[in-house]
């Protein structure tokens, strides 16, 4: 998939906006809305293209945010609804995957009877 194609960027913007609406965390929702707006602006050609990166250049904050969002979406797709076994031997089903500013990726599970 071409991640820089306008239709792919618009889908990612829609996904971020949907996740923001579903989020219980106002900080997470705000960040997701911001990322959605950035995807949308990039897709619609409202942002100027970034300068050619040089090998020694640091990735921008926006690039870090986009990488985090991409990895988060992949984790959600891979984990939600899956059956898991915890280290204490209890089994459960993956219920929710969230981003936490302090801890990174956090997951919630429902214990099976």
More confident residue, 15 or 49: 15
Look at residue 1 and tell me if it is in a domain.
no
Number of domains into which the chain is organized: 1
Count CA atoms closer than 13 A to 110's CA, side-chain side.
8
For residue range 38-54, list pLDDT tens digits in order: 888 888 774 456 666 56
More confident residue, 33 or 88: 33
Distance CA 24, CA 89 (A): 29
For residue range 66-109, list pLDDT tens digits in order: 888 888 888 888 888 888 887 888 888 888 888 877 767 777 77
Distance CA 112, CA 12 (A): 33
Query: Are the beta carbons of 19 and 32 closer than 8 angstroms?
Result: yes
Look at residue 24 and tell me if it is in a domain.
yes
* Of 31, 2, 1, nearest in space to 17 by CA: 31
- Show the domain range for 15: 6-50+58-111
């Amino acid at each position: 998939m071409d991640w820089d194609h306008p239709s792919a960027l618009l889908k990612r913007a829609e996904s971020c906006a949907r996740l923001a609406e579903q989020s219980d965390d106002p900080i997470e929702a705000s960040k997701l809305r911001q990322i959605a707006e950035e995807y949308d602006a990039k897709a619609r050609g409202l942002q100027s293209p970034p300068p050619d990166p040089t090998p020694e250049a640091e990735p921008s904050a926006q690039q870090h945010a986009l990488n985090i969002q991409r990895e988060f979406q992949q984790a959600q797709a891979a984990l939600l609804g899956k059956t898991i076994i915890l280290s204490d031997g209890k089994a459960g089903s993956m219920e929710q995957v969230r981003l936490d500013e302090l801890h990174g990726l956090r997951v919630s599970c429902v214990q099976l009877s």
